[in-house]
Amino acid sequence: MADQVISSSGWKKWLESVGDQTVFLSRFFRNVFRGGFEWSEFVRQCYEIGYRSLTLVGITSFIMGLVLILQLRPTLVEFGAESMLPHTLSVSVIREIGPVITAIICAGKIASSIGAELGSMKVTEQIDAMEVSGANPVQYLVVTRILATSFMVPLLAMLGDVISLFGGYFALNFTDDISFTLYFTKCVAALDFTDYMPALIKTIFFGFAIGFVGCYKGYTSDKGTESVGIAANSAVVTASLWIFFIDMMAVQITNLLYY
Amino acid sequence: MADTVAQQPIRRKAADQSDRTDETVIEIKGLKKAFGNKEVLKNINLTLKRGENIVVLGRSGQGKSVTIQCIVGLLTPDEGSVKVFGQEVAELNNEQLKDLRTKVGFLFQSGALYDSMTVRENMEFALTRVLKIKDQAELDSRVMEVLEGVGLPEAADKMPSDLSGGMRKRVGLARTLIVKPEIMLYDEPTTGLDPITSREISELILEMQKKFKTSSIIITHDMDCARITSDRVVIMSEGEYVAEGTFDELQQSDNEFVKSYFLDTK
Ligand SMILES: Nc1ncnc2c1ncn2[C@@H]1O[C@H](COP(=O)(O)OP(=O)(O)OP(=O)(O)O)[C@@H](O)[C@H]1O
Ligand SMILES: [Mg+2]
């Protein structure tokens, strides 16, 4: 009985939060198309996002490419398929590992910092102050950030992909003697439209999810000081879950469409 | 300047009130507001006339800030009516609410400066977005005018984090005044300031009232500020206004509760 009460109120909370997020989403879309776009804030956000995650995305991607080659090599050698190494690496990086790794890093760095920033603006009444001045805080704070992440995460992912391939080349050079041109020709030859297009589209959704979750958690946080930490923290967790969920959906949809 | 201010006690003169019209700008009736099961406002009734300054006194946590947040639509009342310029705030659509908010200035208790922007950008935020002023020369002159008004012209290009608490408060005040609102809601404008600056701010409030016929609700714990600025004083307790009158009337009151507010002022 007691359990029932708890679980039913848990469901109610969950449904309420789904409702709130839907309302927030519709506020975002209404404001995107309203006009009065805040270009300079958008550009500033893009710069911040890129600047903040570039190093980490670069290092992680490089190591990923390197490690993947080292791990794949013994298996492929067993089949005498060493020459397939660039092919295998490039398909797995472009389709899956590059986008997901980049998105997870951005969830950790960007979703949390957006959550914390908007959360603290909420706590210190800055968002209320914008609203009371007659300005539109959703337009200025939320629209710019969500669009900036939707734009920058795909760019970062592409960059991460390329750096991963470099990492792979570096690892391959330990053991095999392969020219840089040949390696990259092989990598590129392995790819076709169905590899990079779905990957690009899904990174746009990853970026959107990161921006949306960060903004939602920050903008709707409570007014206590501890709520800033909660907003940042739950933004990371929720955004990461969204990324894996979107990834799963993306692979299903791609398979349905192309195979 | 500071010397003369400190020496002469300033009192409102009865003559100032003659240019007041009888138009009602804010009318609150039977306002109730609860958070969870905590009833914060139980029955608030208040009318503010054009050009009038009302001071609200009351202990911490009585719901003074909540009342003025209901006036600008940041909070929605549970019951009762809040009318500003004759319009029920809760029934306004987005455009009307935005319109109303350009006419009502709100000074937050915490200052609420946008900390990612310089002081100048703070000032220009509403000017460029709400009043759509694009002319840089006009923007500059308005920014300088209000910053000089609060005595901080040199702070224009600083970040809020580089300002002291009192300076932030004054910048917050300047940011509110820059749009020349018809109604001002001051949430503790002088708290945390030194006595001389407090007095200057109180005078500034008075000056605003005279110059632009601004009507104000001033929440304060500072009796000096109350004496300088008030046409009328109300005291809030337990979610209601329990006493009302001019500063002098309440100062002479026999009621023990009312007296306790005026202990240090005689
Ligand atoms: N948004 C809110 N959500 C929940 N409770 C709130 C909210 N705003 C205010 N309260 C509660 O309402 C009560 C009155 O708060 P309010 O800020 O109006 O007090 P106040 O009279 O302005 O006090 P002070 O002089 O300290 O500023 C407090 O107990 C506060 O906890
Ligand atoms: Mg207060």
Instruction: Give pLDDT tens digits for A47-56.
Output: 999 998 999 9
B158-191: b (≥16 Cβ within 10 Å) or e: eebeebeebbbbbbbbbbbbbbebbbbbbbbbbb
Structural domain of B250: 2-103+181-262
A133/B112 touch (CB, cutoff 8 Å), yes or no: no
- Kindly give, in sequence order, each residue whose CB lies less than 8 Å from that of residue A38, ignoring residues fewer than 6 positions away: A139, A140, A143, A144
Q: Whose CA is nearest to atom 3 of ligand 1?
A: B35
The answer to whether B28 and B205 have CB atoms below 8 angstroms apart is no
**What CATH number has the domain bearing residue B48?**
3.40.50.300
Per-residue pLDDT band at A3 (split at 50, 70, 90): very low
Chain B residue closest to A37 (CA)?
B129
Q: Which of B72, B95, B129 to mutate to test the interface with A (most CBs of A within 10 A)?
A: B129
Mean pLDDT of chain A, nearest integer:
91
Cα four-point dihedral sign B120, B125, B129, B132: negative
User: In 3-state terms, what secondary structure has residue A156?
Assistant: helix
Chain B residue closest to A45 (CA)?
B116
Cα–Cα distance for residue pair A149/A213, rounded to 1 Å: 11
Query: What percent of chain A shows pLDDT beyond 90?
Result: 76
In chain A, the N- to C-terminal Cα span, in Å, equals: 49
Q: Does B35 touch chain A (CB under 8 A)?
A: no
The residue written with tokens 């609700």 in the block is: B217
pLDDT tens digit string along A121-175?
Answer: 999 999 999 999 989 899 999 999 999 999 999 999 999 999 999 999 999 988 8
User: If you measure from the C-alpha of residue B40 to the centroid of ligand 1, how many angstroms do you get, rounded to a whole number?
Assistant: 8
Residue A176 within a domain = yes
Per-residue pLDDT band at A36 (split at 50, 70, 90): confident
Backbone angles phi, psi at A55, to 5 degrees: -60, -50
**Of A53, A51, A98, A108, whose CA–CA distance to A239 is shortest?**
A108
pLDDT at A175: 82
Residue A203 within a domain = yes
Number of A:B CB contacts under 8 A?
51
Q: Which of B76, B84, B94, B110 to mutate to test the interface with A (most CBs of A within 10 A)?
A: B110
Say whether pLDDT at B14 is over 80: no
Residue A9 within a domain = no
Domain count, chain A: 1
Q: Whose CA is nearest to atom 14 of ligand 1?
A: B63
Residue B203 token pair: 């005078």
User: If you measure from the C-alpha of residue A223 to the centroid of ligand 2, how many angstroms do you get, rounded to a whole number?
Assistant: 14
Domain count, chain B: 1
- Kindly give, in sequence order, each residue whose CB lies less than 8 Å from that of residue A212, ignoring residues fewer than 6 positions away: A24, A25, A28, A146
Structural domain of A58: 38-258
Of A124, A128, A134, the CB nearest to B74: A128
Cα–Cα distance for residue pair B220/B56, rounded to 1 Å: 7
The answer to whether A102 and A156 have CB atoms below 8 angstroms apart is yes
Give A-chain residues touching B112 at CB under 8 angstroms. Answer: 124-126, 128-129
Cα–Cα distance for residue pair A106/A166, rounded to 1 Å: 21
Give B-chain residues touching A140 at CB under 8 angstroms. Answer: 129
pTM of the model: 0.87
Residue B1 token pair: 């300047």
Cα–Cα distance for residue pair B165/A83, rounded to 1 Å: 67
pLDDT at B13: 47
Mean pLDDT of B127-143: 89
Residue B79 within a domain = yes
Residue B176 within a domain = no
pLDDT at A7: 59
ipTM of predicted complex: 0.85
**Of B91, B92, B38, whose CA–CA distance to B66 is shortest?**
B38
Residue A1 within a domain = no
Cα–Cα distance for residue pair B134/A7, rounded to 1 Å: 55
Residue A147 within a domain = yes
pLDDT at A68: 94
B72/A132 touch (CB, cutoff 8 Å), yes or no: yes
H helix or E strand, kind and range, residue B53: strand B53-58
One-letter amino acid for residue B232 of the chain: R
Mean pLDDT of chain B, nearest integer:
86
Q: How many CB atoms lie within 10 A of CB A234?
A: 17
Of B69, B99, B126, the CB nearest to A133: B126
Say whether pLDDT at A196 is over 70: yes
Residue B145 within a domain = no
B102/A140 touch (CB, cutoff 8 Å), yes or no: no
Residue B50 within a domain = yes
